[in-house]
Amino acid sequence: MKRARVAYAGAIHEATPHGGGLRLADGRVVAEDAVVWLAPFEVGTIIALGLNYADHAKELSFGKQEEPLVFLKGLGSVIGHRGQTRRPRDAAFMHYECELAVVIGVPGKGIARADAMGHVAGYTVANDYAIRDYLENWYRPNARVKNRDGGTVLGPWFVDAADIATPVQLNLRTLVNGTVTQQGNSRDLVHDIPALIEYLSGFMTLNPGDVILTGTPEGVVNVNVGDEVVTEIEGIGRLSNFIVDDATFGR
């Protein structure tokens, strides 16, 4: 089942697909552009992975990481489908990252790999922006690179885990203004979903709503003000986002 969270007529609603629009939980049917799209679930801790696709690591001249490269992100970074992401005027290279986002449904600590998928509630699409010229150290991405307000786009749909039979074989791609610029498949994850859950739960409790951003494949390119960036994952959804300038945010 696919479902979203949207703001409409002064309230937050759960919504499901309906023809060319959305059906709200109260029965009303509305157009997709009549709502404000939110993250499709109540977001807890945001756990992000770097260099978790071998081709992307090679693209950046890094070899395989024996231990996952993990960092955390604040809730202020999250926006929903059709939202705006600011490109600072001093940025020389700002790029998207299409990522499979894994949402935890069952809490756990010290979870064995064999039991890991039983803790997954479902999946969504993530687009986690980075400003390359702010980066000081690939092994410890600083907050300006990966924790900016509005720099982590989630949605549009939350898809139940039971509806994705093979999350390790999903095609990912990104389009900038309608042109495909990035393609990959989740089979190429360096550390797969069970391995990540086992690793993370070894030192922290995973709770419902926690989300693991599993990394991006090769093919990141610079984006500019006015661009529409669409990140897609097979069977999960098509997430749209717009790049705007400082003036839009009164900067």
Same domain? 34 vs 117: no
Residues near 118 by Cβ (< 8 Å), separated by ≥ 6? 106
Same domain? 48 vs 134: yes
Q: Report the mean per-residue pLDDT for the chain.
A: 93
Same domain? 83 vs 182: yes
Tens of pLDDT, residue by residue over 141-164, are 677 788 899 999 999 999 999 999
Pairing verdict, β 69-73 and 94-95 = unpaired
What is the sign, positive or negative, of the torsion defined by CA atoms of 52, 231, 129, 198? Answer: negative
We report the CATH number of the domain holding residue 15 as 2.30.30.370
Tens of pLDDT, residue by residue over 170-205, are 999 999 999 999 999 999 999 999 999 999 999 999
Tens of pLDDT, residue by residue over 32-58, are 999 999 999 999 999 999 889 876 445
Task: State residue 57's pLDDT score.
Answer: 47
Spell out the SS3 assignment of 97-126: CEEEEEEECCCECCCCHHHHHHHEEEEEEE
Tens of pLDDT, residue by residue over 96-120, are 999 999 999 999 999 999 999 999 9
Same domain? 80 vs 5: no
Same domain? 30 vs 82: no
Element at 227 (helix H, strand E) = none
Task: State residue 59's pLDDT score.
Answer: 53
Same domain? 130 vs 242: yes
Residue 4 lies in domain: 1-38
Same domain? 44 vs 25: no
Same domain? 72 vs 7: no
What is the sign, positive or negative, of the torsion defined by CA atoms of 237, 204, 71, 74? Answer: positive
pLDDT above 70 (res 84): yes
Same domain? 18 vs 137: no
Same domain? 222 vs 131: yes
We report the CATH number of the domain holding residue 183 as 3.90.850.10
Q: What is the pTM of this model?
A: 0.94
Beta strand extents in the chain (DSSP E only): 2-8, 11-18, 21-24, 29-31, 36-37, 46-50, 69-73, 78-79, 83-86, 94-95, 98-104, 120-128, 130-131, 152-160, 171-176, 179-185, 211-213, 228-233, 237-244
The token pair at 182 is 């990035």
- Domain total in the chain: 2
Same domain? 105 vs 165: yes
Residue tagged 């926006």 (tokens):
79
Tens of pLDDT, residue by residue over 196-246, are 999 999 999 999 999 999 999 999 999 999 999 999 999 999 999 999 999
Same domain? 123 vs 228: yes
